[in-house]
Amino acid sequence: MDLTNKIAVVTGANKGIGLESVNQLLDKGAVVYGICRNGCSTKHPNYTCLTADVGNLEQVDAAFNIILEKHGSVDVLINNAGLGYFGYCEDISVAQWQELFNTNVTGIFYCTRRVLPGMKKAGTGHIVNIASIAGLEGYPQVSAYCATKFAVRGFSDSLYKEVRDFGVKVTCVYPGSVKTDFFRHSENIKPHDNMLMPADVASQIVFALESPANYHPVNLEIRPLKPRG
């Protein structure tokens, strides 16, 4: 897809992988909407920040109503918003479990269901879901987060088979550790320079979005070299 003037929505756009994706999409000439919980500082003539918690149906619907009333349909959705809580299973609180699933899984459903009718009608569109290598294999003390990312993988794998005949692409991204604020709830992992950089992940997302119309990258596993330095 040529991204010039395409309508793109990025969730969790105020920092990390989401912010880098916004910046790279703007560089490609896209018209970008960020969905952020608490606003963001990005200033660009082609950028609009909409405030919504992706796990809140009313707020998500209000944000997409604004976008769809203005543009009719969306060309690109990057379901990026997410967080992690870590620890032994019995130490994960019920509230943390619910927040993980509301954000990492239900939020993707809430956003995706608003763009699919327009994409299917237009016969084009691309949804990118940010999973994790924690959606490919389990890790001790990561059970709750892994459960959400395995769910994202299952959702994505089903969805691509459901919409490919409509001309709509779905790509699921599985990054290894990325140097972002993501590890703020982890006692064991601290960000370091041998991790992937958020710009690395964003550039692979853009590469997938720019793929020709006749094929679609389905799964994108991205791992750092020399992860421990």
Ligand X SMILES: NC(=O)c1ccc[n+]([C@@H]2O[C@H](COP(=O)([O-])OP(=O)(O)OC[C@H]3O[C@@H](n4cnc5c(N)ncnc54)[C@H](OP(=O)(O)O)[C@@H]3O)[C@@H](O)[C@H]2O)c1
Q: Give which of 40, 195, 1, 70 is closest to 10, Cα–Cα.
A: 40
CB of 62 to ligand X, least distance (A): 13
Distance CA 161, CA 165 (A): 8
Q: Decide whether 57 or 83 has the Cβ nearer to ligand X.
A: 83
Q: Report the residue number, 59 or 124, with the smaller CB distance to ligand X.
A: 59
- Closest distance to ligand X from the beta carbon of 19 (Å): 7
Q: In the bound complex, what is the minimum distance in angstroms from residue 11's beta carbon to ligand X?
A: 6
How crowded is residue 227: how many other Cβ atoms within 10 Å of its Cβ? Answer: 12
Task: Identify the CA nearest to 9 among candidates 70, 64, 68, 77.
Answer: 77
Sheet of 76-79, strands arranged across: 47-51, 31-36, 7-11, 76-79, 126-130, 169-175, 219-222
Sites of contact with ligand X (CB under 6 A) = 11-12, 14-18, 37-38, 53-55, 80-84, 103, 130, 132, 175, 177-178, 180-182, 198
Cβ atoms of 13 and 78 closer than 8 Å: no
Active site residues: 145
15 or 120: CB nearest ligand X: 15
